[in-house]
Amino acid sequence: MKKTLFLWSLLAAVGWSQELTISHLPYVGRILLAGKNEMYVSLKDLAYTMDMKVVKSKHGYWAGYQPPDELPNLEFNQVKVGETVIPSVMVAETREYFISAEGFCRGVGANVTRSEDGSLAVIRPPRPKPRYVPPHEQNLESVKQVPLPPPARDPKKFFLTQYKSGFNQDAKAVTANCGPTTLAMVALAYQSLPPSIQRNNPQGLILWCREQMTGNSLDEDSGTNFGEMRRVGAMLGLQSRWVDDQDQMDWELRKGRLVALAGNIHRIGKQGVYAGGGHALLVVAREGDSYIVNDPGGFYRLPGSKMRADEMKKFFDLGACFWKEPQGKAAMRNASSYLPATKNSSLSTPSLTKPAFSKVLTAALLWFRT
């Protein structure tokens, strides 16, 4: 903790003379390096300021307005913006990724002007039209006023937690299984289980989802993404599509579909074990000014908890809705049975020794110079 504070104190003390403005407003995120020829800023802070999404893509990240149906296979320290792949640097003490502000903004099609002192003035590109448009979008205002029905399903019947609880006795106390657990709840709700997994084996189902999403990795401390979730959903015979905003989410919920949602708990005043605040949960329905959610992480502890619409607006990053067609069934891949995870299980991830802080900072600065 002291090293992390020292890092930000050191960076703040530099006193950058270069400035970055986004659509005439000053960028207020974290800056690692600012010089006359280059400026490196926090990937997540810049994307958030640009009103764009950052999605895990294999080992790297994809950034932009609307993720593609199939995310690219990026290597560590690679970020894809538009058609361009740019390098990033991770500060190990905080696990925060930094990228070239100019490279990122030009990659997403922004108008970028650099002044003589190295300051950048950026104008956001226009937001593209969503790939999915509800048939009645031209009358969207009247649709918003239609009373929303109560949940068609009982959320308790398919509620699971990613941590050890009465809903998942075999889980570890702390995991990063919010994505796999959300998908497991979708599978339970639609009764689309892999052949070797029973309903009374929630942890086995969660680990099966994780293994299929990550390509046979059972590291419960690693993150997952929604592209992987949609792919495995198809293996379970489920249809899915991206959900880009709350209006579309409301429309999908009216159709009786479930929406898996990715967002950031820090923006709604909640703190988790993992840094960054990224989290996934399942939205079951909307009732008036609230959403009915099954949250695997326990920030909303009970099945069918209510999340206010204003909280949802702050939390929302990206969603995927799931449904099951009555005709036809997609082939489901067989899965091996899993033993329940225990404290001594091989699924536990050993702690990694972090490099010395001074070496990390020196290496980062040397990288910037080359």
- Torsions phi, psi for 241 (to 5 deg): -155, 160
Name residues whose C-beta falls within 8 Å of residue 302's C-beta, 6 or more positions apart in sequence.
none
Residue 267 burial class via C-beta count within 10 angstroms: exposed 0-12, middle 13-18, buried 19 and up: middle
CA angle 300, 204, 152 (to 5 degrees): 45
pLDDT score for 222: 81
| Domain definitions of the chain by residue range | 2-127+355-369, 140-323
pLDDT score for 68: 85
Distance CA 268, CA 248 (A): 21
> What is the chain's pLDDT, residue by residue, as a tens digit (370 residues)?
433 434 443 344 344 567 898 877 778 778 888 777 889 999 988 987 787 888 889 899 999 888 888 899 999 999 999 899 999 999 887 788 999 999 999 999 999 999 988 899 998 887 765 554 454 444 444 333 333 333 346 899 899 999 999 999 988 898 889 999 999 999 999 988 988 888 889 999 999 999 998 887 788 888 788 888 998 999 999 999 888 889 889 989 988 899 999 998 989 988 766 657 889 999 999 999 999 999 999 899 899 999 999 999 999 988 999 998 764 443 343 333 333 333 222 222 222 233 333 333 333 333 333 3
Q: Strand (E) positions, 215-304?
A: 239-243, 258-264, 278-287, 290-294
pLDDT score for 273: 63
The pLDDT tens digits of the residues spanning 190-233 come to 988 988 888 889 999 999 999 998 887 788 888 788 888 998 99
pLDDT score for 274: 62
* CATH number assigned to the domain with residue range 140-323, chosen from the 4 options 2.40.30.30, 3.90.70.30, 3.20.140.10, 1.10.10.10: 3.90.70.30
Nearest-10 Cα torsion for 48, 274, 7, 29: 10
Reference 323, options 251, 262, 263, 224; nearest CA is 251
Quote the crossing angle between the two packed helices 357-369 and 2-14, to the nearest 10°.
Answer: 30
Name residues whose C-beta falls within 8 Å of residue 336's C-beta, 6 or more positions apart in sequence.
196
Strand, coil or helix: 319: strand
Distance CA 210, CA 242 (A): 20
pLDDT score for 141: 43
Name residues whose C-beta falls within 8 Å of residue 160's C-beta, 6 or more positions apart in sequence.
167, 168, 181, 184, 185, 188, 202, 205, 206, 294, 296
pLDDT score for 215: 81
pLDDT score for 326: 67
pLDDT score for 16: 54
